[in-house]
Every structure is written in structure tokens, then in C-alpha cells.
Amino acid sequence: MTVAYLVNTAPVTSSTFIRREMAALEAQGVTVRRFALRRWHLPLVDPLDIADQARTHYILSGNLLGLAFAALRQAGTDPAALFRGAWLAARLARSGGGAVRHAAYLLEATYFLRALRREGIAHTHVHFSSNATAVALIARTMGGPSYSFTAHGPDEFLTAAEDGLAVKLSGAAFAVAISHFCRAQLLRFGGTQYRDRIAVARCGLDLAEFVPSVRPASMSRTLVCVGRLCPQKGQVFLPAAVAALRTTEAPFRLVLIGDGESRPAIEAEIARNGVGDLIELRGWQSSETVRAAIAASRALVLPSFAEGLPIVLLEALALERPVVTTTVAGIPELVDDACGRIVPPGDGAALVGALRDILRADDATLAAMGRTGRARVARHHDLRTLATTLRALFAAAIAREGQVDVRAGRAGVGREAAEMEM
């Protein structure tokens, strides 16, 4: 079975979960062809990401002549299919986003369609329901293979109507939601009539890569925060929390790993609160370095305002480190006080209290949280189970291919697939 994985930009430092997912499928005998619309504009730091970039076929970046040639060939060989694609692109444009953007999606889809046929690809899977899913849908309408997508949130649900989520879901063989919260958002914005084609399949980890440290968490006075520095992650609240704790708690420090548009605001808050001696910004790091930093920490903190379900929370729990995070989206399906602390987003006092609890917790309490967290990840977020689920869904979609009306997009999955959950 050969499938295509299509994403908007790849690889990026914050999407290692997609790389892991593809590798797990390949370990189960699925041939995965990697496609992306664009290259990431920043340098990659992880050797595995760098290797994956070399295997990725880029549709838009540096390929304007290829896009034009593909459109001309499509017009010459199958103008009716091109017309169907153009009609659908126009329909999506009326929802929002503009004609120019969707004309670009049409060009990208014609190029992608030729690549799919050339490589004998039987199904396309997309991560996130935004522009890359539009490309897969248009390619499907022009006669390409079935497609599916994984929805994560939060941003894709903010623009669900203008991005035509309902149309994308109607044409998909199935959709994957990474949590029950995410499934509810797909039903809300995509339509409850598609409930039978939405499967809950939680993001996964290979636990063999996340070996807990023999050093007890209580021996560390370092808190670590990992993620893109952006408004959604709420890191701008951390300097004030650190300042509130420094006068009452034994010495501790906070390490932020990641980078992004909020870095100047975070640096300004560090200076305003006078905690430059307690907070270190390390920028992007390799996956191996991130694992080592979490393993050496007392706990991971992620005070997010908006999320899907952050992979770094899985990683910390798998390493038997407690987490301090917020009651956002799918996070409460993973985290409770048995494996950390969970507080309302934006509640600075609650965040300070949660961090104080972790800083004062004894070894037995921290160890119990760690064991509970790892057991929870093993039960619900095993990467092999995710790959098995996806492989079955792909195979079912391919098997049904002869029964699907491409133009109407009447692809679906059975109820048993929709109810599959890790």
C-alpha cells in the first residue's frame, strides 16, 4: 500500500509528530511518499528533520514552471477534469480566502495529481484541514485518489467556515480527530451528518525513545517550557509567575526551549520583572536535546491559551515528569492532578499556585505523578497503535475506491472505524 502524506510546510521543528507517524507506518509496511507545499524558511536543527527534508517533494517552493506545465498538460489531456477542479476552487473561494489563493490551490492540485499518478499512490493523507487539504480535495475532484485529513486545532477551527471545512469533510474518505474535543469541533463546523467518518486517533509516541531518568524529579530545581514562542502558548505569563515565586521558594530556574514571534514580548517581561537571572531562552533544539532537558527537569510547564493537544505534554509524561498546563481543548483528556497540575488559561494566580505545588512536592509525590503520566501515555498514546489504526483506515478507504463517486465526494467510513480510539 502506497500513500501520500501532504502538509503545508515540512518539516518544521514543531511538527516532529508527523515525522514519527510516517516512520511508524513505514515500520508496518506502508510506503509513504512525502509531499509539502512549501519548505520551512528557518534552519532545521534536528538531524532527522534534515533527513526528512531531503525525502520531501515540494509542490510550490521553487516550482512555478512545473505548476504551469502541469496545468497546461491537464488542460490538454482532460479539460473536463480541470473544469471540475476550477469549479470547486471557485466554490471554496466564495467561502473566503479569495480567488487568487484558490487559483493557486488549483495549480498545486494539478501538479500534485500528476505526481500521485506517476508514483502509483492510492490514498492521500493530510495533516491539518487548511490549505493542503484543499489541494487534496481539488486533486480528488479531478480524478485523483481518495483523501483523508487529521484535524488538530486550534487555528484551523478559527477559520473553519472560510476554509470550507464542511466541503472538505464531505469529500473525505474519513477524518481523524486527535481528541474528543477535536471531534466535537469537526462535528460543529463540518456537520453532524458526517459523524460516521470521524475517527478519534490520538497522537502517539514510541515509548522506547522516552526512557525515564533514574534521577528523581525532586533532585532538580529546573522547570522547562518547550514550544513555539507565540501568543497561543502563553509563555508571556511565565516571567511574572517566576517573580512571584522567587521570594517564597527555594532557588529554582526556568528554561524555555523554542523560538517565535513572542520572543521580544517574553524578553520584555523578563526584564520588567527582574528575573533574567532565573530564566534562560535556549531557542530551538534537536529532539534528543529536548528529551534530555525534560528528563533533567523537575516538571514541564506549558501555560497555553489555545491548543490542540501538545505533543510535548506526552513527551514529559512519558519521561515521568509532571506537567503544569491549562484546561484548554483536548488537554484535560490527558492531564489532571494525578499527573501534574491543570489551571484555567490566563489565570496568573492559579499558575503561581500550581508551580508552587510542584516546587514544594516531595519525591514520593513527584514520582507518583510521573508513573501515572507514563502509564496514561502508554495506554492512550502508543505510536504503534496509532499506526495500526491509520493503516486500517487507509486500507478501508482504498478498498472502497471503486464504490466512490469522485465528483459528489460520497466517501465514508463505517461506524466501527469512526469509533476506533487509542
Q: Which tens digit of pLDDT belongs to each residue from 92-122? A: 988 777 888 899 999 999 999 999 999 999 9
Nearest to 152 by CA among 115, 78, 202: 202
Predicted confidence at residue 83, as pLDDT, reads 94
Asked if residue 47 has a cis previous peptide bond (ω within 30° of 0), the answer is no
Question: CA 318, CA 212: separation in Å to the nearest integer?
Answer: 7
The pLDDT, as a whole number, for residue 403 is: 53
Q: Which residues contact 132 (CB under 8 A, 6 or more apart)?
A: 6, 7, 8, 36, 37, 126
Residue partners of 404: CB distance under 8 A and separation at least 6? 146, 173, 410, 411
Q: Which three cell numbers stand for residue 152?
A: 488538530
Which of 73, 28, 84, 32 minimizes the C-alpha distance to 56? 32
Amino acid letter, residue 190? G
- The one-letter amino acid code at 276 reads G
What pLDDT is attached to residue 73? 92
Quickly count: other Cβ atoms within 10 Å of residue 287's Cβ: 18
The pLDDT value given to residue 420: 35
Question: Exposure of 218 by Cβ count < 10 A (0-12 exposed, 13-18 middle, 19+ buried)?
Answer: middle
Question: Distance between CA 391 and CA 387 in Å, rounded?
Answer: 6
Q: What are phi and psi of 130, to 5 degrees?
A: -95, -130
The values of phi and psi at residue 317, to 5°, are: -65, -40
With a CB cutoff of 8 Å and minimum separation 6, the contacts of 188 are none
C-alpha cell at 10: 515540512
The rounded distance, in Å, linking the Cα atoms of 156 and 307 is 11
Q: Is 174 left (phi over 0), alpha (psi -120 to 50) or beta?
A: beta
Could you give the domains of the chain?
A: 2-204+383-417 (3.40.50.2000), 207-380 (3.40.50.2000)
According to DSSP, the residues that pair with 254 across neighbouring strands are 223, 279
- Non-local CB neighbours of 272 within 8 Å, separated by 6+ positions: 239
For the chain (422 residues), the mean pLDDT of every run of 10, in chain order, is 95 87 96 94 86 93 90 93 93 83 93 95 95 96 96 90 91 96 94 93 94 90 96 96 94 96 97 97 93 96 94 97 96 96 96 97 96 96 96 95 46 35 36
Amino acid at the residue 339: C
Beta-carbon contacts of 278 under 8 Å, excluding residues fewer than 6 positions away, are 242, 246, 252, 253, 254
Amino acid of residue 240: A
Q: What are the tens digits of pLDDT across the range 139-173?
A: 999 999 999 999 998 889 988 888 899 999 999 99
Give strand pairing partners of 212: none
